[in-house]
Structure 1
Amino acid sequence: MSAQRVRMDIAAENIANVDTTRTEAGSAYKRKDVVLESFGERSFQQALRNAQNGKGFRGQHAGVRVQGVITDDREMKRVYNPNHPDADAQGYVNYPNVDILKETVDSMSATRSYEANVTALNAMKTMAQRALDIGK
């Protein structure tokens, strides 16, 4: 869930900076992207074997985590606007390499993944509660 939250935050940052032509570094904003990696149990079969052998899932957290946030080094958008304060000698301004449509899709995908995780957690809690009710 935390990995999907980072994806949503980075997509929001990219959208917020779609028109930023000058950052603290002095150049146009460069799009950021999240790199995810899997960790823990790699197969359902191995997890099932561990559960059958009484090892359960203690200490065996599996899922996806953020490996890092990288900067997209694709070419900037060049727009002719000689009156802009950040225009070069030829009158062109470098705009960020952010595509609003791609960021919107990334944000929606991260939101759906987050919601799916919440639904799965709620289902687990409900099943655990019902198991406890059986013992009463």
Structure 2
Amino acid sequence: MGDLSASLEISASGLRAQAQRLRHTSENIANTDTPGYRRKTVSFKDVAGAGEIGGVRTGRVQLDRSDPVRIYDPNHPLADDSGHYDGSNVDLVVEIADAREAQRSYEANLKIFDQARQMSAGLLELLRR
């Protein structure tokens, strides 16, 4: 039964990590047109170690260091003397691909969680007999 509960904990950690990744991807998509906005990324860390069951944990949120897009609009309130201002550095295509990947990873972890739960229920049913 310990292995089944460990698999539940590992898949739950994956669910939490992918949910946070989706949250940041959603923020990036929402701020695509926000001047000066920097894309947020989140890294994953393996928590398997001494005495730990395993799984994944999210690291610190980091801002993308790539240069923002320079936009020409002399009527914009943030425009400089040349008529340019800094847009965001969010690429919508990349964000949609990241969201799709995170969604599929979330679904895979959910499927593992459900399988472990069903196996636990089956084991308990066998033990009751």
Q: TM-score range by the shorter chain?
A: 0.7 to 0.9
TM-score under structure 2 length normalisation: 0.83
2:78 corresponds, among 82, 86, 109, to: 86
Q: In the TM superposition, what are the counterparts of 1:118-129 in structure 2 within 5 Å?
A: 118-129=110-121
SS in 2 for 1:123: helix
The 4+ residue runs of structure 1 with deviation greater than 3 A are none
**1:60 positional shift:** 3.1
SS in 2 for 1:118: helix
Kindly indicate which of the two structures has a greater share of residues assigned to helix. 2
2:63 corresponds, among 50, 63, 71, to: 71
SS in 2 for 1:88: coil
Identical columns (%): 38
TM-score under structure 1 length normalisation: 0.79
Question: What is the CA RMSD across the aligned residues, in angstroms?
Answer: 1.5
Counterpart AA for 1:9: R
**1:91 positional shift:** 0.3
How many pairs does the alignment contain?
114
